[in-house]
């Protein structure tokens, strides 16, 4: 039982990483691990609080993601073109369609793709390179702050799970 518990906690750690790194499942992975623990332990009463907290975190994460990107874009004066460019850049960067780099691979593409996509999108819309760069940086900074908040929310969900289930598993 303890081995399964630690494996599920490890899955939750991957979920924390996924809350911060785009394209990896985050809070949903944590939620699945909690549900699996409820099934394995045959005690859904023991996971009631972590389950509720994680569902709230899941909804908050979605809201934070959109809100942080939106606020970052608006603070920098970005248009919808910049936001669409950032999304396209994220997908293209993750798939590795950016020029081959000597290091970094898809992770570097995830970081550079949205920035380059936002700059290109804004430049196509406004035809002013300086404003396009400012908007691109604003979108990326907003997204990074949103990812940081999502990571903190995911950590909180895992901590609530461990605190509430630890006595059930280890008896102390």
Residue 136 CA to residue 98 CA, distance in Å, equals: 17
**Residue 44 confidence (pLDDT) above 80:** no
Arithmetic mean of pLDDT, 104-127? 78
Confidence of residue 172 (pLDDT cuts 50, 70, 90): low
For residue 13, give the 3-state DSSP assignment: helix
Parent domain of 141: 1-170
As for how many domains the chain has, the answer is: 1
The 10s digit of each residue's pLDDT in 94-106 is 676 655 555 556 6
* Res 107: pLDDT: 65
Cα dist from 157 to 34, 56, 142, whole Å: 10, 9, 23
Residue 110 CA to residue 82 CA, distance in Å, equals: 16
Per cent of the chain over pLDDT 90 is: 9
9 within 8 A of 162, measured Cβ to Cβ: yes
């Amino acid at each position: 039982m303890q081995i399964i518990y630690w494996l599920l906690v490890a899955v939750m750690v991957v979920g924390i990483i996924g809350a911060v790194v785009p394209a990896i499942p985050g809070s949903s992975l944590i939620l699945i691990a909690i549900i699996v623990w409820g099934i394995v332990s045959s005690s859904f009463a023991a996971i009631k609080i972590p389950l509720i907290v994680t569902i709230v975190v899941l909804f908050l994460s979605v809201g934070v993601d959109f809100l942080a990107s939106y606020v970052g874009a608006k603070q920098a004066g970005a248009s919808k073109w910049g936001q669409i460019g950032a999304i396209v850049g994220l997908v293209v960067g993750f798939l590795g369609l950016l020029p081959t780099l000597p290091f970094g691979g898809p992770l570097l593409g995830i970081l550079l793709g949205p920035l380059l996509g936002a700059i290109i999108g804004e430049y196509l819309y406004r035809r002013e390179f300086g404003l396009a760069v400012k908007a691109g940086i604003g979108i990326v900074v907003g997204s990074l702050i949103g990812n940081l908040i999502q990571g903190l929310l995911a950590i909180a969900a895992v901590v609530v799970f461990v605190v509430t289930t630890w006595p059930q598993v280890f008896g102390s």
